[in-house]
Structure 1
């Protein structure tokens, strides 16, 4: 009995110890499993957040491209942005534990937003491209979404998913691309799994301590699979239920205010008219009604702009000395051209009423041009010249057939280009030419037009050749206010001059090499040889002739040669040295022909950049913009456009990225010189502010606290406590999230901070006690004294020294 009484209590005690050990072991195992489970659910949540951000990015980038980028460029952009987000996510894992992730994320988010918005004007200046307002804003939100998803903060991930949902809804509403809809559908299905993971990771260990649960991965995966099955089942059946909102957003086109970088429309909504009361009022429309009017023809406009030609007696003999072998065919040609009235005389009479007539027609807009300017619009070509009159080219003998092609769902008429073979073009340009007050079937187009489109015109037999390279419609005149879309090639002057295939020889166009005889023409030939004699044959001589005319002569439409002159171009070159454009162009052609080149005269219209209407984004072409220039044959069936008149320029390819950067730097340099005092002050102050940014930020926060201390004692105490926390953080003594302000102050071992301790104790009472309980604890007068003492005790310089000592220690 004694042994039992001695042993049994010990056995019971050992049993209780064993049971306690087993309970602790089980509790430890359960706690470890819960911790690992929560960590796993957090990882799944981050991965799903990244996946949602990538899907939303894909939907937005597809919508932003709007068919304007190639497939591989689009998918390369999607892959690159996704990889950057993943790399950022992986790099943030190596961030030190003591780093304040919340502050870093907030600073990075603000920086991304600001830089995304600042990039837009830089992109427009340097790259010549941009986004409409709503796409610019959504682009910045897309960048913010990727950053927040990569950061992995709980609040940031929720905001990232919300932004992704907004992006997907936005993209689905304004696009018709099924790939964007597919990305949106996948986003919606994956978001269900994200909600499950977010709920699971939000559970606390105390809720799982006595339960045996696990992450419902099967349900998380079942959601996307069910959604994909439903999407596949509904993909090819039933009517299309997703519609596109066009014209609702400011950059989507429509009939409201235009946006220079809009995604749709013709950017002239504010210039459109209904065409009910007066259909001749200004405004380009696609299906314009037809109205008979007194619109002038090309030769009417030329006669109004450059005076009437001098009427000669029929018995007066022309000053033409052409080769006898071509005389018979050319005589027949001249007769047919004269009957049609398609000739231009360089012998114009002085008319006192021309200025008044020019003023009366100056407001009459003949053509409107949308696109890059300056632009030469060809209307007529001239080859034969007898010293006074130019004769227009006939229709081409070899009739090249037009054909149709589809582009963006619209029929385009392809213009045959058999006479262009050197390929010195470097840029494909796009213009919209709208005839308004011009009566002519000829389509005003640049020299290297490749294709044209007129709404509801898809039959090639509605077009014919007017001359070589000039197209006309098979009707009396073009439909007024009907937009003509043109695609053309822009010649690169550098490529043209470096092209080894230029030989300037041709067996065709013999008429473009003929010159009249006489002493005056010989004198002009000697002048041309003097100007270009020291240069090699080719574009160097051609450019020199044009340069001498532009720099040595004055453009003046009011100065004309004498009416009795037999060779007006001779009087212009050697006596007047000033005159209208047709004398500049005629002189260039005659001088080039005297040097053995094949050249011809061109008349048409000049879209002047000075007439550009920035509000309507159109260049208005009036009667006074009728113009003459010339072309030279360079080989390979190719004619190069020349501009010998001063004050006029040829359309060149858009500047390259390097040229845009240089132009932007020059602009910055000029602005800096203009505002040198401001630039000098900023150059001195900005580095100082950056080095002392913590002092500046502390001063700003203190000033705001003094100006807005709060209403009531409780709010004033809480704001004072937040100021203490901010000062410690800026000084490098940031408080960990799990430590209270009072405990952190004790940990720092700060002496003589009685007022600060008092403020922090009051703050704890204000945070954890009710408003009624806090009332009466402190008076307003005591708070004022405490606040002043708090600023003296927590001087920012002393806090900075303490932070450095802690780092050195």
Structure 2
């Protein structure tokens, strides 16, 4: 039983002060209901830890550090995620409180004081509140009072006749402490510069707002310098200068021509257009980048590619840099119409004015249709940082299902828009200035959403090609759901075709030759996948952009460099709600990860492995019903092996085997009862077993409690053979109630 001394009560108060220091850090960024519930559960367990029954004390004290972890898991699924740093600090606070409540020695109380002091000082040092210093001062004063009282008690116990109580000692010490702290604060003020924002920490969520990580704590930097330590673009004034208009930076069209090959058809005049002098340009709102003019269509009938040549002044061949998930695709152009050779965009998806919303102090520009989904899918939104290096385009390379973009210190709606093909762009200017850092917020759907969206998809398209219809029927024959059929097509292309950009079709029918040769560039894989999806009655489109290779991420730099050779083509399929999700048919490129929910994964597992599951269930049932047989056999084998290799310890093994059998038979020994009394009572109905039991117990007593080492007899072997599981069950039934 714990004694509730003054020392313990003061230690508990210090621990509570340390927990209070976390409140100012967590309440501004977390769901209030979740946080209040967590604190309420901690308070209830703290009160239970003060209860008289020692068993309740132990359970409540041991459960205290687990509560922050449990609520962190719950918040990840049902509320605003809790930052890992905040969970770790709360665990430290509950550990300090648990040591104060359940510590049975002064050492545990001292550890509680030390941990609570560290927590208070650490939380105040990272807090942005001007009042954060109040709690450390309160803790220091309380600790001084606590230490003086403890020291006085120790002296009073050691030298009771020499210690004189003085009621002015503790108040005087407290006043001296306050004066010392105030003087130190006055001397230190304005002598230290404001510390820089924390951009890299020991936790995954260090730095950023909830839009750079949903669980990140605001106030420790927004991650603007996370890409190669470069700041955002301060202004767009240089866009109109000749240095930008006469730039020789590569466009997406140039890179595709170098990596995949130029179209066989003669390029038209618009594709050859070069930058014009400044005075000959139209007003800003009518300007379009050279790359966007040349990318109004995409031909799949192309010549063999030539080697890519970098400008002489280039020391780094990076086109863009990406700080976010790797193995993803960044779209720049989309096409929804195919005439057998060229992809073009027929549907006009232009949106000249995006909706501006405020996230903290930042202005985000989102599609009007996506605005309603932001609040609903806030937990599934991830934010990556994109930096433009050498890309001649007004287009923003962004992942699929991008909901909004943000550039630091840019709060003008005319700077952002949606192009005709549905891609994000910066209209009215020649290109996006180099070194511009763009925050890109996007969502990734689950497999459940895709299955539901494709099931509700009602649009159908007429057959395009007889070979495609035949291939689609053959590949999807064993699948009923549209999602499974689509995945079967993607798997077939990835497993049975070879991606080779150097292979150039010799026929005018590039798709037909691709189906026959099973070899071609990624643009032919994307085209074929999009056409096969249409054979299933799904709306699809062709997409070009960049692929962020998983091996391109540089840990030291904190970003992945996207090179000219990373230009890529893939396909997208439309859902019933108007959103488009991507498919990756080209081998060598990572497929999108659409994770199913636990319920859907269980259904799929059961449907796929139901014969094996039935066998496992039947085998488990058989093992359970025959447990007495095989456990008895196992115990007998252990006994025989132990008797052979370890004869000196056969007494211990014998009593262990008998107790294991008794638990199996339902007559186990109660806690604290002597083994001899239990065995003698158990064998009362059988005189033979009772005699062997007494002989065994006498031999054990002589072996372990007598100074004389009597030779080991065979009583243990006879008792183990006699008291098997069946015999113990019968003896238990014959015992008087």
TM-score range, shorter chain: 0.5 to 0.7
1:751 maps to none
Is 1:47 the counterpart of 2:9 in the alignment?
A: yes
Alpha-carbon deviations, 1:326-381, whole Å to 9, x = none?
Answer: xxxxxxxxxx9997551111111124x33778999996111211122222211111
Is 1:71 the counterpart of 2:12 in the alignment?
A: no
**Residue 571 (structure 1) shift:** 0.6
Give the direction of change, closer, same or farther, for the CA distance of 1:312–1:480 in structure 2 (3 Å limit): closer
**How many Å separate the matches in 2 of 1:585 and 1:622?**
20
Alpha-carbon deviations, 1:445-495, whole Å to 9, x = none?
Answer: 122111221111112221122135322113221122222111111011243
**Residue 619 (structure 1) shift:** 2.0
2:531 maps to 590
**Residue 418 (structure 1) shift:** 5.4
Provide structure 2 residue ranges, at least 5 long, that are not aligned to the other structure: 74-80, 183-188, 208-219, 269-289, 602-703, 708-737
**Residue 651 (structure 1) shift:** 3.8
Is 2:227–2:321's contact at 8 Å kept on the other side of the alignment?
no
Is 1:380–1:467's contact at 8 Å kept on the other side of the alignment?
no
Alpha-carbon deviations, 1:590-619, whole Å to 9, x = none?
Answer: 223344332111111111212222333322
**Residue 576 (structure 1) shift:** 1.2
Question: 1:300-379 residue pairs with structure 2 within 5 A?
Answer: 300-312=254-266, 341-351=295-305, 353-354=306-307, 364-379=317-332
Is 2:345–2:421's contact at 8 Å kept on the other side of the alignment?
no
Q: CA RMSD in A?
A: 5.4
2:97 maps to 146
1:523 maps to 467
- 2:394 counterpart (441, 446, 463): 441
1:100 maps to none
Give the direction of change, closer, same or farther, for the CA distance of 1:244–1:429 in structure 2 (3 Å limit): farther
**How many Å separate the matches in 2 of 1:61 and 1:657?**
33
Is 1:532 the counterpart of 2:476 in the alignment?
A: yes
- 1:568 counterpart (510, 533, 539): 510
2:687 maps to none
1:175 maps to 127
Give the direction of change, closer, same or farther, for the CA distance of 1:571–1:272 in structure 2 (3 Å limit): closer
**How many Å separate the matches in 2 of 1:654 and 1:77?**
29
Alpha-carbon deviations, 1:565-596, whole Å to 9, x = none?
Answer: 221001101x2101111101111222233443
Give the direction of change, closer, same or farther, for the CA distance of 1:215–1:578 in structure 2 (3 Å limit): farther
Alpha-carbon deviations, 1:639-683, whole Å to 9, x = none?
Answer: 2322222222344367989999xxxxxxxxxxxxxxxxxxxxxxx
Is 2:227–2:323's contact at 8 Å kept on the other side of the alignment?
no
Is 1:502 the counterpart of 2:456 in the alignment?
A: yes
1:466 maps to 419
Is 1:378–1:604's contact at 8 Å kept on the other side of the alignment?
yes
- 3-state SS of the aligned residue for 1:627? strand
- 3-state SS of the aligned residue for 2:368? coil
Give the direction of change, closer, same or farther, for the CA distance of 1:93–1:499 in structure 2 (3 Å limit): same
Instruction: Give the number of equivalent residue pairs.
Output: 543
Is 1:622 the counterpart of 2:563 in the alignment?
A: yes
Alpha-carbon deviations, 1:408-456, whole Å to 9, x = none?
Answer: 3222223323599899998222211111121211111122111221111
**Residue 551 (structure 1) shift:** 1.8
Is 1:453 the counterpart of 2:406 in the alignment?
A: yes
- 1:57 counterpart (5, 19, 29): 19
TM-score, length-normalised on structure 2?
Answer: 0.61
- 3-state SS of the aligned residue for 2:399? coil
1:405 maps to 357
**How many Å separate the matches in 1 of 2:114 and 2:492?**
66
Give the direction of change, closer, same or farther, for the CA distance of 1:494–1:396 in structure 2 (3 Å limit): closer
Alpha-carbon deviations, 1:88-137, whole Å to 9, x = none?
Answer: 565797899xxxxxxxxxxx99xx99x99xx9xx9xxxxx99857xx999
Provide structure 1 residue ranges, at least 5 long, that are not aligned to the other structure: 1-38, 97-107, 123-127, 232-239, 274-282, 315-335, 507-512, 661-799, 804-809
**How many Å separate the matches in 1 of 2:422 and 2:117?**
53
Alpha-carbon deviations, 1:256-294, whole Å to 9, x = none?
Answer: x98755344577979745xxxxxxxxx565648967442
Give the direction of change, closer, same or farther, for the CA distance of 1:582–1:167 in structure 2 (3 Å limit): same
Give the direction of change, closer, same or farther, for the CA distance of 1:66–1:605 in structure 2 (3 Å limit): farther
**How many Å separate the matches in 2 of 1:61 and 1:338?**
51
- 2:366 counterpart (405, 409, 414): 414
Alpha-carbon deviations, 1:177-209, whole Å to 9, x = none?
Answer: 468555445434544553564355445268777
Give the direction of change, closer, same or farther, for the CA distance of 1:194–1:364 in structure 2 (3 Å limit): same
2:550 maps to 609
TM-score, length-normalised on structure 1?
Answer: 0.56
